[in-house]
Structure 1
Amino acid sequence: MNRKHLISPKSQDKLFKIFAALCTGLVLLTLLVLLIDIGIKGIQRINWSFFTNLPSRHPEESGIYTALAGMVGLLFFTVIIALPIGILSGIYLQEYGKRNKLAKFIEINISNLAGVPSVIYGILGLQLFVRTAGFGNSILSGALTLALLIMPVIIVSTREAIKAVPDSLREASFGLGATKWQTVRRVVLPASFGGILTGIILSTSRAIGETAPLIVVGALAYVPFVPEGPMDQYTSLPIQIFNWTSRPQQGFVVNAAAGIIVLLLFTFILNGTAIYLRNRWYKKTAI
């Protein structure tokens, strides 16, 4: 008997499901252990002073005020730079761009850029924005670098969401006398809004936790002031956590765990709000 037929297809399917379930369970168990360990260490440090204090060489007096303010400012400028360019690029490539070899070449490269390691974007941002443009180690340099990092994800998700809109909706709009732009603005974009928002969620969440490109473009580990404009120096919560983990004192390890909890909560709140808006939009369009 051939060895291929020793195990039936149903048994193979069952074995694969068991193997996949075991792998998933192992990953979730590891994640749960890490979260519990971080929670036990960091929850004792979270209080009002932790959010309002400046960084200090004394762990019990150190806080995340400047890091949190820098992260919010960095995320704000990243979003206002990346979202319009990314969404408009996706619309153009899908609805207006010609289907030729050049367009296919651009599509492949955009998809590849979405998987490039973040430190490469940091090196690119260092040369383009810090040195050539002369922005220095400012919030604007960090925001432009992170915008380059998340833009391919936004473009790809926008294209896929628009591509999923049935052609019948476009044809019905054209049949009623609408122009191309009217069809895109009033029919295609509302129908694809949920998918576009999903891409924005994923890209923004990635930008929040990035550390490597910010280190390369010159984000500081210690900033004793809150940045007031895009050209000010800054730090970010991931940078602050990275700095605390490199300290030998146990108190800074506790601070790092508390900072991780805050960063996770910030990410969960942001994602939860976006998912709520997306589901609400789906229900609205379904009605």
Structure 2
Amino acid sequence: MHFMYSLNKIPMNNKKEKFARFGIATKGFVYCLIGGLTVAAAFGEGGKKTGSSGVLETLSSQPFGQIILGITALGLLGFTFYRFYQAIADPQDIGNDFKGFVTRFGFALSAIFYGFLAFTAAKMIFTSGGGSGGGQESMASTLLSKPFGQVLVGIVGAAFLGKSIYQFYRAYSGKFKENVQAAELDSNVESMVLKTGYIGYTARGVVIAVISYLMFRAAFSANSSEAGGTKDAFSFLQNEFGTIVLAVIAAGLLAYGFFMIVKARYKTLGI
């Protein structure tokens, strides 16, 4: 009861804020599906090892899949808007120093990624084919065809490594806890939500670190097929460390998705 009361206390000031919160929740929904499908695959209960594009393909094959894809595309567009808003308007007052620039540049890159994902979802509504595919492997192939291609792919790998480190920082610095604690949830509910945050950010850090490793491998070998995204990271974890580790990390991404849905309700957006 206290939890539901706390939900109702959160003001929804304007349409832009609602759109942004819907976007954050949609990102959480996508991660819940990534984690849930991969956990099911790990234990042989259906499902599949998948990333964001694979989730969109799964949604498209469901009853009323076009409608679900449309809602998901709209939500992803909302998250794109929110990331661009963070990058340009700086509602958290991150600043323009080097650290602030890097953080805001990261927001812009995130906006581009989720904007592309929203476009992919919208495109799938009107076409019978799957997503655009390719992902990190396609990007590595494109970069390797350019002058200093291996260096460029290495830079991308370094960017993923930095993002991975940031996920671990978010988990163990406790930075993610502020909005949850400010929501005045029941102590048991708050404890559960915070645990999903620790687990979720840690699991996401591991997956992104593996993607970074795959990009570095592609850079050193000059072979784009060595690169990969989330699905390939899952395969790497299963091959190198076993199915149990795969299931634990996938469950961590499921926890991250749940945390993002809660965060959508409580985070101070400054819009």
Q: TM-score, normalised by structure 2?
A: 0.28
